[in-house]
Structure 1
Amino acid sequence: MSVESLSAALVRLREALGAVRLPLDLPDAQAVLSRAREQAAQLDDYVLPRLGRLDAPLLAVVGGSTGAGKSTLVNSLIGRPVTAAGVIRPTTRAAVLVHHPDDAAWFTSSQVLPGLARSDGPTQDVRALQLVAEPSLPRGLAVLDAPDLDSVVAENRALAGQLLAAADLWLFVTSAARYADAVPWDYLRSAAERKAVVAVVLDRLPPAAVDDIPAHLGQMMSQRGLAESPLFAVPETEVDADGLLPAAAVAPIRSWLAELAHSAVRRNEVVVQTLDGAITALAAAAPQVAEAVEAQQDAVATLRGDVESIFAMAAESISAQTADGTMLRGEVLARWQDFVGTGEFFRAVEQKIGRMRDRLTAAVKGEPRQAAQLKIAVESGLEILLREEGEAAVRRVVASWQAHPAGRRLLAEHEELGRTLPEFGPAAAQAVRDWQGDVLTLVTSEGQQKKAKARYLALGLNGIGVALMIVVFSQTGGLIGAEVGIAGGTAVLAQRLLEAVFGEDAVRRLARQAKQQLDARTAQVLAPESARFQAVLDQIEVRPGQAEELRAAVAELDRARAEADRFTSAPVPKAPAIPVPTELAALAAEVTRRPQPQPAERDEESTPVEEVEHS
């Protein structure tokens, strides 16, 4: 498989990472999203450009802690002031990249660090890259002075991390006073994990500490995966009028960088090691992003499922209570008894049946007034039931979401979800009236088709309609205790009356149709309440299939890496190991023989990495 195939796999991974959204407030979501953005930026800033041009100049990024002397070191390596140095912090604002004039084309274009604007002069714009052409710098090498890793300015810290991720080589600068601080070691540990080429510069080393601090720092490097990284020591000394260190103080670093620049083999080995380590780290980290995306998808599915199940339960509860006799209680039962229990109803029926022989059309007049009162009672009871169940469903959804970290955040952002819509109550009342209209339409249509039209007209439209409603409310026989003898008996009476008019089969059919229409009206009332929760979830930018896309991209990258030719058409000759400078070789050899020395006194505000790890 060619470098082109590897590049295509990385482009696919870049597209998948760029599409990642983790909007829900889940544990570690923001941290994972930040890493995904960093991975995408590294692909844009370094991996893809470098893979496309392996012969580009070596980019050495000089990074480190506040006040470590990075800018002074860069100026001293170049031999003249090219980047601002001073005691006011933070000093470095925009990054400064120094290159040989013949290499300008590599850096003036957007091939490297495309997200940063180019500037040919000093600037305070943190998103700019100041380019400085320097003939004394070897061709094939560029040195970039980065902002402080622990800067008090968040933008500076972010830019420093971005620049280090785009480096072929890290020249990591720390001071004798702060070499054990936690923040720089977090970056060094990250570099070790992805096999980046790192050189550490111990700056401002007091003569009295030359036997202790370099040895201790070397031991820390060995313990944290940087045993092969060179360690340079710069003694504490006076600077000249231009703010430059003596040439002898930086000569070992300058010689080492020049050797890398002049040797195509050594330069290529550094590039391949860092690039391969970056790709390996990307392949290892991407599945964690996929897991986070999947957690977001699962959270949306859980919250959506809660809404659907709770409102489905509310609809089922209403359906059950409008069929098991629950409605035949209270005001409805009292009005039904008034309607059928006083004798007025039966007298009216008998009189009207007798008059049918003379004038059928007169039968629709003079219905017992109790029928209208019963209809109103049914309407009120149903409306109360719909409103109570709808409001209870909203409360249950809110309680369910409150128990979920993502749901809590959504409820905080959408306080209106905690109460029903203003139009919910009127909608419930209208639905009940509409259903009563449905029932009257059913009995009207059925009555016109029956031979027993006299009985139908004698009962009256409202009378026969409410009788059908009573039958609907008692279909499943859920009445208990004394209600069986009272409400149950009246329900049987309603059934018998309707059977006398329409016949047994027709009554069953009418009751079934009326119940189906009531359930449909109930669903229409509850739907807007459910829909507003669903609408909030629909706005969440979690696209189905993203986790699978990430895993597929990683799988393709793994195949490409397994079959790739390690970025070159022929094996790269093994270069000699990068040496520790001569003056520190003896100290490095003694690290394992002497007791571990205590580090020099540090600033009170610094946090030693050892204290962080053992706290």
Structure 2
Amino acid sequence: MVTALVQLRGALQDARLPLELPSAAGERAGRAEMVDQLEDYVIPRLMTLDAPLLAVVGGSTGAGKSTLVNSLAGRRVTEPGVLRPTTRSPVLVHNPEDAEWFGADRLLHDLERVERPTTDPGALQLVAADSIPVGLAVLDAPDIDSVEEQNRALAAQLLAAADLWLFVTSAARYADQVPWDFLRRAAERSAAVAVVLDRTPTEAIDTVSTHLARMLASRGLKDSPLFTVTEEVVSDDGLLPAESVAEIKGWLDSLAADADARSMVVRQTLEGAVRTLARRTHGVADAAAEQVAAEQRLREDADTAYDDAIARVGEASADGSLLRGEVLARWQEFVGTGELLKSLETRVGWLRDRLVNAIKGKPQQAERVTVAVESGLETLLLEHAEAAAERAEASWQSLAPGQALLADAGEDLGRASRDFRRRAERAVRDWQQGVLEMVRTEGADKRGTARFLAYGVNGLGVALMVVVFAHTGGALVGAEAGVAGGAAVLGQKLLEAVFGDQAVRTLAERARLDLEQRTQELLDAERRRYTDLLDSLAIDSDAPDRLRASARRVDDLRFATAGHGGLHPGQ
């Protein structure tokens, strides 16, 4: 069982719930409480079933908890809070012979052990007192309804580590909601509870105690002992008269003296805690599953936006769209407009000769085509990067967790990155250099030919770029596609004049794939602004199943031991 509970603790610790979903806040708090209870109480208590019974004295502000603890100890061991809220460490009073049980490696391991009064709520003050019987320890906890959140959290942590809750209230406060919220949770997990009705005027004892008893019964706590303490003058030492607390002290002393009774209380509370932890784990598992689903939805939305952008750039850079405007004008200057475009249907050989004559001595025009291509591609890439960012942001803004992530992103994810234009420029120039290198390599054995010399590497390179921009589905767009198609046919004829048909198809395909790869790398880098946010959350898709499996393992062991005297560490 200890092994199963340690595995359950690990599964709970690993089940992060970072996305702001409706269930997240409550389950985060519940998960933290469960981990604390496993570490503070369940696992160490299961390993030390013979340790003294820990009675935690909790209750509302001004109920008289510290005065009661002092009175049970027979001397001032804890300071009553004159001013509210009282900020001090919790105080654990034990018999000197039981000191070994309360080291930092035992219950409440995260609280520093001290032997002096302190205002540090992260410390546990240990007080040895012979008046506390062997086998019993009494812990004075902060107010459960303190205005200080830290006090409330510590009180809840201490009560979750109790074998026995000694709940203190008063005639004026017994119907308050906060204490009953704690008592409801105690009833749900079958914790051992005793209630002390403190500071009650003698004439009101019967009325108030009867009403309180009915309230306890209606909330599943009818078997909880109910003690009453009348309003009494407190001594200079901060103690009530011994007879006022004699019934409570006698009951606690009898528990301490009876090993079987003490063990029964411990097992009742421990088994209830284990049962409740296993049950509540399924709620955390459901919340973890919602986290996984939300994270996948956000990731899919970002992927859809950028996958679509990549596809649109691919289409626009291959369907002739770029062979318009400035690119087309500069290309027409280079190859010689008018006559060549009108002569596409004439003999290929004649067209090649005309191309040579038209292009001779035009290196400057080739450079202008290159610049126009660079500008057109950069504009295309920026346009779709911006569109993808807008679509991804809009989809995330439609979901609460997406809104929270965008707010904490540290940059405007609805726009392309500030350095995107610079990176796009570099990518386009690198692609163009790659195209020229392909031409240079392919024409290694043709550099001395008249046609290669006439066109030049730059001229052949821009011709290849033009062919790529009209290469949809691996087939060249024909003249029927209009002026852009005609421009591409001219480029292809020019390349064929030097390299031949098959080489041109291979070059165009290589250049197209290179452009697609560079486009994908650019837009994938933009996509990562979104996906890196999701990756940083470290949401584990296996967490829900691991939580449920851990809870089932604990339940299986609990049921298996139910007929054999209850929980045992090795079972």
Is the shorter-chain TM-score for this pair beyond 0.5, marking a shared fold? yes
Q: Does 1:229 align with 2:224?
A: yes
Cα shift at 1:493 = 3.5
| 8 Å Cα contact 1:46/1:112 also seen in 2 | yes
1:70 matched to 2:52? The reply is: no
Give the structure 1 partner of residue 324 of structure 2. Answer: 329
Classify the secondary structure of the residue corresponding to 1:142. Answer: strand
Q: In the aligned structure 2, how far is the partner of 1:330 from the partner of 1:364?
A: 21
Q: Which amino acid aligns with 1:310?
A: A
- Residue 75 of structure 2 aligns with an amino acid whose one-letter code is R
1:60 aligns with 2:40: no
Query: Match of 2:168, SS?
Result: strand
Aligned to 1:593: none
Query: Comparing 227-236 with 87-96, which one deviates more in the overlay?
Result: 87-96
Quickly say closer, same or farther: Cα 1:90–1:431, change in 2 above 3 A. closer
CA shift for structure 1 position 237: 2.8
- Give the 3 Å change call, closer, same or farther, for CA 89–474 of structure 1 in structure 2: same
- CA deviation profile, 1:439-467 (whole Å, cap 9, x unmatched): 23333333445699444443443333333
Query: Which of 158, 162, 175 in structure 1 is aligned with 2:157?
Result: 162
How many angstroms does 1:147 deviate by? 0.9
SS of alignment partner, residue 121 of structure 1: coil
1:173 aligns with 2:171: no
Query: Are positions 1:312 and 2:317 aligned together?
Result: no
Q: SS at the partner of 1:62?
A: strand
Q: Distance in 1 between matches of 2:153 and 2:227?
A: 26
The question of 1:522 aligning with 2:519 is answered yes
Task: Find the residue that maps to 1:81 and give its secondary structure.
Answer: coil
- Displacement of 1:227 in angstroms is 1.6
The secondary structure found in structure 2 opposite 1:548 is helix
User: Quick check: 1:542 aligned with 2:539?
Assistant: yes
The 1:543–1:570 alpha-carbon spacing in structure 2 relative to 1, beyond 3 Å, is closer
Q: 2:472 aligns with which of 471, 476, 490?
A: 476
- AA aligned to 1:407 is G
Unpaired runs of at least 5, structure 1: 1-5, 355-362, 572-615
Q: Aligned match of 2:23 in 21, 25, 28?
A: 28
**Which residue in 2 is equivalent to 1:242?**
237
| Corresponding residue SS for 1:200 | strand
What's the CA shift for 1:86?
4.4
Superposed, 1:338-349 pairs within 5 Å as 338=333, 339-343=335-339
Which residue in the other structure is 1:275 paired with? 270
- For residue 257 of structure 1, report the CA deviation from its aligned partner: 1.6
Matches within 5 A, 1:54-203: 54-91=49-86, 93-108=88-103, 110-203=105-198
Matches within 5 A, 1:407-556: 407-418=402-413, 419-449=415-445, 453-476=449-472, 484-556=481-553
Q: How far did 1:254 drift?
A: 1.9
Cα deviation, 1:44-89, whole Å, max 9, x if unaligned, reads 2211222122222111111000001111112222332222124322
2:138 partner letter: V
- The equivalent residue for 2:5 is 10
Judge conservation of contact 1:364–1:461 (CA < 8 Å) in 2: no
Deviations 1:119-143 (A, max 9, x none): 2232222122222222222222211
- Partners of 1:260 and 1:12 lie apart in 2 by 33
Task: Note the C-alpha offset of 1:9.
Answer: 1.0
* Alignment deviations for residues 370-405 of structure 1 (CA, whole Å, 9 cap, x no partner): 433333222211111111112222222222322233
Structure 2 alignment gaps of length 5 or more: 344-349
Q: Partner of 1:148: helix, strand, or coil?
A: coil
Aligned match of 1:603: none
Q: Is 1:302 matched up with 2:307?
A: no
Q: CA deviation at 1:343?
A: 4.7
Distance 1:222 1:173 in 2: 17
Q: Is the 8 A contact 2:360 2:454 kept in 1?
A: no
The answer on whether the counterparts of 1:51 and 1:567 sit within 8 Å (CA) in structure 2 is no
Is contact 1:417–1:533 with CA below 8 Å preserved after alignment? no
Whether the aligned pair in 2 keeps the contact of 1:63 and 1:160 (CA below 8 Å) is yes
Change (3 A) 1:142 1:20: same
Deviations 1:298-344 (A, max 9, x none): 33333333333322221111110011111122222233333332459
Partner in structure 2 of residue 377 of structure 1: 372
Gap change, CA 1:376 and 1:240, over 3 Å in 2: closer
Structure 1 window deviating more from structure 2 (482-491 vs 39-48): it is: 482-491
SS at match of 1:77: helix
Residues in 2 aligned to 1:211 and 1:382: alpha-carbon distance in whole angstroms:
89
* Displacement after TM superposition at 1:22 (Å): 2.8
Displacement after TM superposition at 1:105 (Å): 2.0
CA shift for structure 1 position 173: 0.6
Contact 2:352/2:494 (8 A) holds in 1: no
- How many Å separate the matches in 2 of 1:389 and 1:176? 71
Residues of 2 paired with 1:570 and 1:506: CA distance? 79
Q: Which of these residues, 345, 364, 389, is aligned with residue 384 of structure 2?
A: 389
Partner of 1:40: 35
Q: CA deviation at 1:176?
A: 0.9
1:203-242 deviations in Å (ceiling 9; x for gaps)? 1223343343222222221221112212222222323333
Residue of structure 2 equivalent to 1:559: 556
Alpha-carbon offset, residue 570 of structure 1: 11
Aligned partners of 1:50 and 1:56 also within 8 Å: yes
- Amino acid of the structure 2 residue aligned with 1:529: E
Q: CA deviation at 1:543?
A: 4.1
Q: Aligned AA for 2:73?
A: I
The answer on whether the counterparts of 2:336 and 2:359 sit within 8 Å (CA) in structure 1 is no
The structure-2 alpha-carbon separation of the partners of 1:453 and 1:148, relative to structure 1 and needing over 3 Å to count, comes to same
Is the Cα–Cα contact under 8 Å of residues 146 and 160 in structure 1 kept in the other structure?
yes
Which residue type is aligned with residue 318 of structure 1?
V
Q: Matched residue of 1:130: which SS? A: strand
Rounded Cα–Cα distance in structure 2 between residues aligned with 1:407 and 1:199: 47
Higher relative contact order structure (alpha carbons within 8 Å, sequence separation ≥ 6): 1
Relative distance call for 1:458 and 1:61 in structure 2 (3 A) is same
Judging changes above 3 Å, is the alpha-carbon distance between structure 1 residues 340 and 135 closer, same or farther for their aligned structure 2 residues?
A: same
Instruction: Specify whether residues 263 and 490 from structure 1 end up closer, same or farther in structure 2 by C-alpha distance, changes over 3 A only.
Output: same
Are the aligned partners of 2:39 and 2:109 in contact in 1 as well (CA < 8 Å)?
yes
Question: Cα 1:130–1:448, aligned 2, differ >3 Å: closer, same or farther?
Answer: closer
Q: How far apart, in 2, do the equivalents of 1:92 and 1:61 lie?
A: 18
Identity across matched positions, percent = 53
Deviates more, 1:17-26 or 1:272-281: 17-26
Between 380-389 and 109-118, the greater mean CA deviation after superposition: 109-118
What amino acid maps onto 1:550 in structure 2? L
Tell me the CA shift for residue 189 of structure 1.
0.7
Q: Report if the CA contact (8 A) 2:95-2:130 is conserved.
A: yes
Deviation at 1:364? 9.3
Q: Which residue is equivalent to 2:347?
A: none
Moved more, 391-400 or 160-169: 391-400
Letter in 1 for 2:434: D
What amino acid is the match of 2:524?
Answer: A
> Which is further off, 395-404 or 41-50?
395-404
2:105 counterpart SS class: coil
TM-score, scaled relative to structure 2: 0.89
